[in-house]
Structure 1
């Protein structure tokens, strides 16, 4: 009996150790323009079974309608994208967004927040977003589709079950995504050229 009790305590301690590092984080701020992108970085030391990342800042149409996306930070690959999911946690209202993930492997990730309809252009973050290249419009002067005119600029992101997280201090303007995409293309072109010269 004593042996079984000690084994049970060891299992509980081990389970506690696996979740001890997992934490909750909240970040918030304001975006200026309709095509700004907010980027949150987060990491998992171990595979995780219950990661949640969500917005609760829509506040029943007080603020802009967010679109969220989850990316592999190392490869830039799009993992998932969501327009409306207000079922993740209390405090969300109908156009809030995010993910409740049953499994996410250890690694580094990006969670982006954009304004509807600024969806990802492709399957990699370097493909950019649909409103890239447009002249930035301040949210105070923009009529957001499906939401209205002069929407609030406030955003808030919550994370649970992650080991570390931080936010870019300033939302990333569309031009940065275009620059990154062009840089990746240039590097690919130079590599291809070097291979053909070697042949």
Structure 2
């Protein structure tokens, strides 16, 4: 009986974790005017959402600019240059992102661009500052107020969202917490099925 109670508790925790998961996407950009767009959804209104980049890596890679958008209307919610306090464990000084106290249910975009490639106006349809420029390979580009020949790696993390996707990431890197809970739940279920009823 105790085993069944533990299993029910583990599965309930998995269900809760699945509704507010952590995601990690990585990839590489080729040019100075590339913009990485990650889409995420909230199945219901949520609190304490975090979306951030840890792309800078202490100067190994480019200085990122992030923006948060309503995917339905295209409206710009916020834009950020430097905010390494979203997750100090992974970010370094020029990284950025958002701690969001509350956000309505819906679909959103989180974009990462190179420094100075700011969003133009209040809607994603207006584009970004470098859109009209001829693409410059990152290996040939000198970032303003920074350095030349910077790395192309980008990294995006989202915490507390229902689902997320990024078509430019070779694969989603699942965070271990939800997977571990799911494993515990499945192991408990398998154990219960193997137990023979007592006479």
TM normalised by structure 1 equals: 0.76
Gaps of 5+ in 2: 1-11, 170-199
Give me the whole-angstrom Cα distance separating, in 2, the residues matched to 1:169 and 1:96: 20
Secondary structure class of the residue paired with 1:68: strand
Gaps of 5+ in 1: 1-13, 171-199
Give 2:125's aligned residue: 126
Give me the whole-angstrom Cα distance separating, in 2, the residues matched to 1:107 and 1:19: 18
1:63 pairs with 2:61: yes
Whose RCO is larger (CA < 8 A, sep 6+)? 2
RMSD: 1.8
Structure 1 residue ranges, 4+ long, deviating more than 3 angstroms after superposition: 14-20
Secondary structure class of the residue paired with 1:38: strand
Q: C-alpha deviations, 1:142-186, integer Å up to 9, x for none?
A: 00012210010000000000000000227xxxxxxxxxxxxxxxx
Give me the whole-angstrom Cα distance separating, in 1, the residues matched to 2:42 and 2:135: 34
1:17 shift after superposition: 6.2
Give 1:79's aligned residue: 77
Give me the whole-angstrom Cα distance separating, in 2, the residues matched to 1:128 and 1:162: 25
2:43 to 35, 42, 45: 45
Aligned residues: 158
